[in-house]
Homo-oligomer: A and B are copies of this chain.
Amino acid sequence: MDICAVNVLTYEEFLEIFGNVVEKCPLIPAAIWTHRPFSSLAEIEAHISDFIDSLSQSGKEGILRCHPDLAGRDHLSGTLTRDSQEEQREAGMTTLEHAELSRLTRLNSAYKERFGFPFVICARMNSKAAIMRQLVERLENSRPTETKRAIEEVKKICHLRIRYIVLSDVPNKL
């Protein structure tokens, strides 16, 4: 799928394909569809990034709250989005040993208790060990610092989801 093909999509088609590039926030791709025609994938990403940056602190926290816990309830109940499922599987989050899962669950709870949103990290860019280490480290951040840090991860996830969508169709076109 090259950018010309993206530019002729109706908003319904665009949402079917790009609706979850920010987890459970179809509002965002639905909004930036207004700005087509896009000159490149990078422009789509830039519009999404601008949209996120334009939100208030609570709006940014809202985006984070739409994300699932790593190896959490949605994984156990089979209600993860397909994107999250694949990302968590690749990072080894779906095959944790009992002790690892216990530790992650405990750290996740502490994180949510402290910040009021779940720990978000681009799983595809991190090993299991790196995820655990960053969770411990980021627990020490202030709330504004951590919101900013987590939103950076949202943008990395979005970047890879967009690449994955487009490149899995027609490689090397964009």
Contacts and interface: CB of A to CB of B under 8 A. Distances in A.
A56 interface: yes
Interface residues of A, number: 32
Copies in the complex: 2
Interface stretch (A30-38, A86-94, A97-105, A127-135): A30-38
A8 to B, nearest CB: 14
B26 A66 contact: yes
Contacts of A34: 57-58, 61-62, 116
A28 interface: yes
A62 B116 contact: no
A125 to B, nearest CB: 24
Interface string A120-158: 000000000000000000000000000000000000000
Interface of A: 10-12, 15, 24-35, 51, 54-59, 61-63, 65-66, 73, 112, 116-117
